[in-house]
Structure 1
Amino acid sequence: MKKILFIFFFGIIACSQKTSKTQVVEVSCGQCKFGLDTQKGCDLAVRINDTAYFVDGAHIDEFGDAHDINMGFCNVIRKAEVTGEIVENRFVASELKLID
């Protein structure tokens, strides 16, 4: 009986934990480059499988001037390796590393 209870509780715990996934995605300004309009101003976003999501856990200005002509997220779409998950139509990033 103890074994059955242990397996039952272990199964509940294992199934209830969220899993973060590491993947290569496009990253840029959600408003300027991905056409998102649910927020005002310029905010970091990722595009995964042709769908754009605003990012929680990283800020657009952490990667330099967002309006730089050559590298700024408001002017170019870049590639990044990200770890995180989509929660309530937002990408919650635990890690974001530019690769280009």
Structure 2
Amino acid sequence: MPGDDCQLAIKLDNKKYYVEGPNINDYGGSHSKNGFCKVVRKAQVQGKIVQDKFVASYFKLLP
């Protein structure tokens, strides 16, 4: 993703979208060993694409 910031994003149909709704730090430290800035995780999501962002109504990490 463009930029230097760690932001929550999803990949849907091989296209990447920043996520609005949940915060990256809602799921632990983003820079920890297993944080989102270091590893890719799978999740179940629901929401819609609005102006090239994914607006999440549901976001659950998978084990």
Give TM-score, length-normalised by structure 2.
0.92
Bigger proportion of residues as helix? 1
Note the residue ranges of structure 2 that are not aligned, 5 or more in a row. Answer: none
Note the residue ranges of structure 1 that are not aligned, 5 or more in a row. Answer: 1-35
1:77 to 26, 30, 40: 40
Asked if residue 45 in structure 1 is aligned to residue 45 in structure 2, the reply is no
- Displaced runs of 4+ in structure 1, greater than 3 A? none
Distance (Å, rounded) in 2 between the aligned partners of 1:47 and 1:81? 12
Cα deviations by residue, 1:13-65 (Å, 9 ceiling, x for unpaired): xxxxxxxxxxxxxxxxxxxxxxx11x552110000011100000111000000
What is aligned with 1:66? 30
* Superposition pairs of residues 13-24 of structure 1, within 5 angstroms: none
* Superposition pairs of residues 16-35 of structure 1, within 5 angstroms: none
What is aligned with 1:30? none
What is aligned with 1:18? none
**Aligned alpha-carbon RMSD (Å):** 1.1
Identity between Structure 1 and Structure 2 (%): 41
Larger radius of gyration: 1
Give TM-score, length-normalised by structure 1.
0.60
* Superposition pairs of residues 88-99 of structure 1, within 5 angstroms: 88-99=51-62
